[in-house]
Amino acid sequence: MADPIVHGGNLHEAAQRYGIPYAQWLDLSTGINPHGYPVPPMPAEAWRRLPDEGDGFAACAAGYYGAPTTQHVLPVAGSQAAIRTLPLLLPRATIAIAPLTYSEYAPAFERAGHRIAPLDVACDVLPDDVTHAVVVNPNNPTADHLGAERLLQWHAQLAKRGGTLVVDEAFADALPTASLTGYTDRPGLVVLRSPGKFFGLAGVRAGFVLGDPALLDGLRERLGAWTVSGPARHAVSAAFKDLAWQTRMRTQLEADSARLNELLQAQRFSLHSTPLFAWTDDPRAAALHHQLALRGIWTRLFAAPASVRFGLPGSELEWQRFGQGLRESMSALRAAQPG
Domain limits, the chain: 11-37+244-336, 50-241
Q: What is the pLDDT of residues 2-14, one digit of tens each?
A: 445 667 778 999 9
Q: What is the pLDDT of residues 68-112, one digit of tens each?
A: 999 999 999 998 999 999 999 999 999 999 999 999 999 999 999
pLDDT of residue 290: 97
pLDDT of residue 6: 67
**Low-confidence residues in the chain, pLDDT < 50:** 1-3
pLDDT of residue 5: 60
50-241 CATH pick, 3.30.70.920, 1.10.600.10, 3.40.640.10, 2.30.40.10: 3.40.640.10
pLDDT of residue 52: 85
Q: What is the pLDDT of residues 224-245, one digit of tens each?
A: 989 999 999 999 999 999 999 9
Which fold would CATH assign to domain 11-37+244-336?
Answer: Aspartate Aminotransferase, domain 1 (3.90.1150)
pLDDT of residue 2: 47
pTM summary value: 0.95
| One-letter-per-residue 3-state SS of the chain | CCCCCCCCCCHHHHHHHHCCCHHHCEECCCCCCCCCCCCCCCCHHHHHCCCCHHHCHHHHHHHHHCCCCHHHEEEECCHHHHHHHHHHHCCCCEEEECCCCCCCHHHHHHHCCCEEEECCCCCCCCCCCCCEEEEECCCCCCCCCCCHHHHHHHHHHHHHCCCCEEEECCCCCCCHHHCCHHHCCCCCEEEEECCCCCCCCHHHCCEEEECCHHHHHHHHHHHCCCCCCHHHHHHHHHHHHCHHHHHHHHHHHHHHHHHHHHHHHCCCCCCEEECCEEEEECCCHHHHHHHHHHCCEECEEECCCCEEEEECCCCHHHHHHHHHHHHHHHHHHHHHCCC
- Spatial separation of the C-alpha atoms in residues 207 and 228, rounded to whole Å: 8
- Spatial separation of the C-alpha atoms in residues 202 and 76, rounded to whole Å: 13
pLDDT of residue 37: 98
User: Residue 273's CB: how many other CB atoms inside 10 A?
Assistant: 18
Phi and psi dihedrals of 159, rounded to 5? -60, -35
pLDDT of residue 10: 87
